[in-house]
Structure 1
């Protein structure tokens, strides 16, 4: 595909489009073109309805709910819908919250469609962990405080084998501590108690932590706390899904937020 000409969205193809974390102004130009070109759009629950203003009035819009902790359209059914529409000659867009390749099951969908002979392309979107922290004026990496970032899911695939049952949080905690990494946990609210318990085996209880709900949307809410107070903060502030949990020293930089006492004391002792 030439890089100096716009990418085409053709009949009989599928494009996986990242709609970003919520704010419709964070769409890429390519995402807008893909949405406008679609004759069929399969839309996740977390996609802001304002994004659909870019769709053609003649386009068929099919809601295919995907939301953590709620009843969802089966993945296999969504894949069949995309396949059927593409084989009927439609210009298919699968519209996802965030980025299709960051916990968006984009890899599964590409593999399935390509195995059926369907041409697939992907348009990236801003992921919620990045969008949420940026909205608070804080980076995920920093030369002094965070030498890297790990995006990790807090929700294991149902029915997995014991060998692949989910994240080894204890090992990850040790790695994050030793390598100075920021942890960005998606879909971690429902399993927060176990995640907290396991991370505390390798990270101090006063490790800074932020919870960001409805990232980049007008109803966004957030709380700054410590790893030791994670579950207590979730309950007290009544924060729930969809939310990302960000853990690491970069959280100290959140402006206009009173640091929890544990962090303030830690700074005083360090001085």
Structure 2
């Protein structure tokens, strides 16, 4: 697939080349920047209104020439103008002024240090005329609760898909920093024995305390040529929503998911005691990481169950991120960090240092929040449910609250990292 922009000449050349090679192709028309960017900036301009609200596109000097031409044609210098940079991305920024202000507005945009050395080649889109007034009502993108936020996600990329998508949906940019790596257990024969026991009817329950445990057992099943049908007759417990979803992806439905705190303690609170009249077998399998689960084992034993606590995978601390990332974490360049487990807290602090105090800290549950506080962090958000979506929803609600407070004080809405920079500039 090729994405092409421009007047179609490049498309014509490539299509001709492909046709001469005897290959089939398909052309899918895209939306032009002069249509898409005003929509994202809250200023939709239908084609029939473009005579009174022209939409112009070009790099800085080219756009200024177009705007000067409108003045030369007699358009009132007080005509409203909105100029947007990085349209349709989370770096989008729109300045509103008048046609007479346009040179200064462009200087502000192109002089922004965040734009970098390529400022002169930065594509810009300008809306001129009455359509600019729609922005007060229709600015939907730049007013998203996490718009422009840089959010640290201390997990591996393949485990962060839900969080990344949810953050982008609220206008944020996710920055994934792996803090753990998953490796096979040191004694894989114990997992082999556990799988054989599951298939042969040794267990009444299997309790999964993480999505990684589900994946580890699934991989072992598949290596034997087994699938979800081999769980027939087994009861399944999941520690929370993410683990339950990993089971669903395998075609399995959890019989027990805590309705309260989604943690090992919450799971234990709702686990039924062994009943020799109702339960033909009194054994429970807990496939887990190499991190100890003694409280859950002890609690199940007190409920009358015999527990096989088997290491299905190991978690090891990932290598430290590059020095610029470590510095960004410690200096407050990230607006927020989302912790999805206690181990992500411990490992991030261990490999990269403690996030700056201006960074908003969001935790997936009470246990993770306690770990964050033990490491000297102030927790601002605790998810209502143990899921990445709920975690990001909570962060978005917090971001909305910050914006509302700024609005009520009559102040400009600033991201957490911007407030830190502003204080530093004020004291300099």
Q: Which has the higher helix share?
A: 2
Q: Which has the higher strand share?
A: 1
TM range (shorter): 0.3 to 0.5
Larger Rg: 2
Q: Which has the higher contact order (CA 8 A, sep 6+)?
A: 1
TM-score by length of structure 2 reads 0.26
TM-score by length of structure 1 reads 0.40
